[in-house]
Structure 1
């Protein structure tokens, strides 16, 4: 266990570095490997020019390495500083660790694998026996490394959405590359400035290449598009599922109001129908069939609004913008003709943004893939026990969902 050749091979050390000694603390189950360098010039970490060694800075540093057998392994070395004529006095780069890290690259690589396997910081901590702060530091370096390595990719279809990271109104904004299925960037908050900051991080070529951006009807995000993108701007596609959810909310409000009116008359027609009326007929559970058929034949306002919601769902089946515009006009006239104010509000909301709704006919995208990542993102949030800072939560999302090359 104290043979330097074993550690030299495992650490992949080469000239001028060599192992001077190995100390084993059996009671503590620790191995301490001391590394030094041969006398002579060393390369400047910036320009790689061979330079004289000025000194060994602030003395010995210690790095945690992968366990060997059952022993925790620590690497020790005094860090030489070179005196470069061009770049001045700089600490040399060592082959086993990255600058500012107190873990070997092999150890960090294993932590990254543990994080990706367990999907939780706590899981990686338990496996690797390190602290929360140490794990977070490894994640931060991995994300920074991945972002530096990321090549400029064409962004054609993207989606913007917000995610909460703790109780209260604490959000991060996410931009997803829909064609690659990964998160491209994050920013604190859910304001116009939040999305603007992500979009402005794109290159001019990427900005010009975006054809469509999916989002819900959050007005600050819509305004961010006008700020960043030059004319002709990419198409904004308001997410169909968010729009239908507004209609579902209207349906539920009408149901509640009408159920109270019926209860005052001693009727229970709508009792227990909350979940039933949200189903489309194509996926209605068998247990609701008879009651659903009875509701459809009734003259209740709830039955009318449910039918209006179902007709709205087919707006996105239109073959083109012109057909969709005509379809919506007929639907809107029907809804307004029934005189149900709660539905009229939804009609007005869609009408004000109609161009950004029916743009789906040309660009059939949605925030659905981003919502599909919600299980991973929520697992990240739960594992963090409610992140206190948006930047930390955003970093964790980029680690697990950014499609980055994270390894040292």
Structure 2
């Protein structure tokens, strides 16, 4: 038998007042620094923090999820990854799972969401991973999937850079010196290039026709990458569809393997890329949260598993305000 006391949770090792102070300090500093302030061992503080977060989040259900984002993050050396699910409307993390494959994201949908919640999801954004796109299309029948535009542009830049790398390997020292700095020029948009850089790229027509074909759109006389960027500014889906088809045809005429591979990728995600026209949804919120996660990871330095890292994620940018669940009259510092 245990007597019920108002200033501590059942079976707790510390009071509500200390729980609140631990949460408040761990939101703004490392656990080691917080432990030094509170005059306790870092392992003891980490254990107490885990007990608080586990108690508060027990029984918690995800609510109001309409716009979903999915991404993965490395949390430890040795290629250990975690799948992060975001609420893009509220800029919160709603779930953290170990791994990054289809089984991991399936576990989120099966264990965390009811059938009604899955049907209420209207929008979803992710990269071009088949694990994410396949799971979202399978579990969320009413959701419109929007492929993140930054991952699409990244794939195009990698295709252009693959051509440059192939040419670089076949050149001697003098030839490599002639195309030095080309990697960054190929990725630049027209408005960011100087006249000198534009003249240098145009000179590739005679000095290196293979790289010039990857950069220049021959049928239209325009830069291939700059032409692709126009797709994000259309307002009518039909016009965007026709434009993207013409662009793919022009890219295939280059006869370059890396660009052919990119066109195949675009074809596989054709409708989901054009969904951006209907709603310009990106994973920018998710990438911003990922930046915060890197800061959180530094605060949780020294952990050997995902659990301590997930604790600080939920404490800092989770969908549930952990300190707010401590009785208000016992939150003083």
> What is the TM-score when the length of structure 2 is the normalising length?
0.85
Matched pairs, number? 313
Aligned to 1:271: 180
CA offsets per residue over residues 83-121 of structure 1, 9 Å max, x none? xxxxxxxx2322121123221110111111111122x22
After TM superposition, list the pairs within 5 Å mapping 1:160-309 onto structure 2.
160-200=70-110, 201-229=112-140, 232-263=141-172, 266=175, 268-284=177-193, 289-299=195-205, 300-306=209-215, 307-309=223-225
Distance in 1 separating the partners of 2:235 and 2:81: 36
Of 139, 153, 164, the match for 2:63: 153
CA contact (8 A) 1:238 1:356 kept: yes
For 1:7-406, list aligned pairs within 5 A.
Answer: 81=1, 91-118=2-29, 120-147=30-57, 153-200=63-110, 201-229=112-140, 232-263=141-172, 266=175, 268-284=177-193, 289-299=195-205, 300-306=209-215, 307-385=223-301, 387-406=303-322
Bigger RCO of structures 1 and 2 (CA < 8 A, at least 6 apart): 2
* Pair 143,366 (structure 1): closer, same or farther in 2 beyond 3 Å: farther
The answer to whether the Cα contact below 8 Å between 2:126 and 2:148 also exists between their aligned partners in 1 is: yes
Q: For 1:390 and 1:152, how far apart are their aligned partners in 2?
A: 20
Structure with the higher fraction of residues in strand conformation:
1
SS state at 1:101 partner: coil
Listed as ranges, the gaps of 5+ residues in structure 1 are: 1-80, 82-90
Bigger drift between 385-394 and 167-176 goes to: 385-394
1-structure distance, mates of 2:295, 2:62: 29
Distance 1:253 1:374, change over 3 A: same
CA distance in 2, matches of 1:142, 1:281: 53
Aligned partners of 2:175 and 2:121: how far apart in 1?
58
Relative to structure 1, is the Cα distance of residues 342 and 403 closer, same or farther in structure 2, using a 3 angstrom cutoff? same
Cα 1:332/1:386, change in 2 over 3 Å: farther
Q: Unaligned 5+ residue runs, structure 2?
A: 216-222, 327-333
Residues 280-336 of structure 1 deviation map (CA, whole Å, 9 limit, x = unaligned): 23344xxx6513432135314334434322222222222133222211110110010
Does the aligned pair in 2 maintain the 1:195–1:224 contact within 8 Å? yes
| Alpha-carbon distance in structure 2 between the residues aligned to 1:173 and 1:384 | 18
The answer to whether the 8 Å contact 2:91/2:289 transfers is no
CA contact (8 A) 1:193 1:224 kept: no
Cα distance, 1:164 vs structure 2:
0.7
2:94 alignment partner, SS class? strand
SS in structure 2 opposite 1:93?
A: coil
Contact 1:139 1:399 in 2 (8 A): no
Say which structure is richer in helix: 2
Q: Secondary structure at the match of 2:83?
A: strand
Task: For residue 203 of structure 1, report the CA deviation from its aligned partner.
Answer: 3.5
**1:21-54: CA deviations, max 9, x gaps?**
xxxxxxxxxxxxxxxxxxxxxxxxxxxxxxxxxx
Tell whether the 8 Å contact from 1:187 to 1:391 is kept in structure 2 after alignment.
Answer: no
Cα distance, 1:136–1:304 mapped onto 2, change above 3 Å: farther
Where in structure 1 do 4 or more consecutive aligned residues deviate above 4 Å? 148-152, 264-267
Match of 1:374, SS state, is helix
Q: CA deviation at 1:360?
A: 1.4
Deviation at 1:223, TM superposition (A): 2.1
Asked whether the 8 Å contact 1:165–1:390 carries over to 2, the reply is: yes
Are 2:300 and 2:308, in contact at CA under 8 Å, matched by a contact in 1?
A: no
1:333-363 Cα deviation digits (max 9, x unpaired): 0010111111110110110121121111123
Q: CA RMSD in A?
A: 2.3
Q: What CA deviation, in whole Å up to 9, does each residue of 1:151-182 have, x standing for no partner?
A: 76322211000011012321111111111011
